[in-house]
Amino acid sequence: MKTLLITGASKGIGLAMARMCLADNYRVVNLSRSPAPDAGIENHAIDLSSSSAESRLKSLLGKVLEKGEIVLVHNAAKLNSDTANNTTTDDFRDIMDINLIAPHTLNQLVIPFMHTGSSIIYIGSTLSEKAVANTYSYVVSKHAMIGMMRATCQDLAGSGIHTACVCPGFTDTEMLREHVGKDQEVLSSIAAMSTFGRLVSPIEVATTIKFAAENPVINGAVIHANLGQIES
């Protein structure tokens, strides 16, 4: 049985991915502060930004993981409204702890359990290769995530483990809605930036993630799942 180990599967894209894999007879293990609501998903509460996260993960994963085919999905992320000239170092570090340090720590702990056929999937963003105003720390972290994925690909050559970075476009998630203050007019204007005139659904992104996880031919790939964005 394959194991999906995913962060932040309590809602949005993470929950859609967890449900999809559960239906496909994966063992699904979720690491997040809040539990995923579906029976069958193994939930382990953890704050990935805390100073004790690494020691907690070492203890936890040593108990719950078995060696085999593992799909590790780095999905948990935090998005602040901030800019290059008003973000404190502490606030910047808080974003990096969740968006970058946690994936690095998990890689170190999980790779030793991975057999041939395993995969590491990073969840980037359309902002992994471009930028918009007022999302400074998030943009920086998502650009760095592509670098982490590409370096992982090179360092794991010959291991039978593949990696990819799936970059969703503007997806109809709680994170996006909270970022725009749940303003429907703003959401509609964002949706209009897609060539389909709508937001991406979490299920569409989850389908893309699962494909990337199960197909090693795309090793080292950056996949944009954004419905095609209209460039100004």
pLDDT in tens, the chain (232 residues): 899 999 999 999 999 999 999 999 999 999 999 999 999 999 999 999 888 999 999 999 999 999 999 999 999 999 999 999 999 999 999 999 999 999 999 999 999 999 999 999 999 999 999 998 999 999 999 999 999 999 999 999 999 999 999 999 888 877 777 766 676 877 778 777 889 988 889 999 999 999 999 999 999 999 999 999 887 6
DSSP secondary structure code for residue 218 in this structure: G
Residue 199 is classified by DSSP as: P
Nearest Cα to Cα of residue 207 among 191, 225, 220: 225
DSSP code of 223?
E
Contact status, residue 147 vs residue 203, Cβ threshold 8 Å: no
What amino acid is encoded at 41 in this protein? Answer: I
d(CA 171, CA 173): 6
In the CATH hierarchy, which fold is given to the domain comprising 3-170+201-225? Rossmann fold (3.40.50)
Angle at 123 between CA 209 and CA 231, to 5 degrees: 95
Please give the pLDDT value at position 202: 93
Cβ(28)–Cβ(15) under 8 Å?
Answer: no
Q: What pLDDT does 183 receive? A: 67
Q: Judge whether 185 and 142 are in contact, CB under 8 Å.
A: no
Show contacts of 30-34: CB within 8 Å, 24+ apart.
30/6, 31/5, 31/6, 31/7, 31/57, 31/60, 31/76, 32/7, 32/8, 32/76, 34/10
Query: What is the H or E stretch that residue 169 is in?
Result: none
**What pLDDT, on the 0 to 100 scale, is given for residue 180?**
63
Whole-model pTM: value is 0.94
pLDDT of residue 171: 81
SS3 state at 140: helix
pLDDT score, position 178: 73
pLDDT of residue 40: 95
Specify the pLDDT at position 151: 98
Q: Are 100 and 151 in contact (CB under 8 A)?
A: no
One-letter amino acid identity for 209? I
How high is the pLDDT of residue 179? 63
| Per-residue pLDDT, 96 | 96
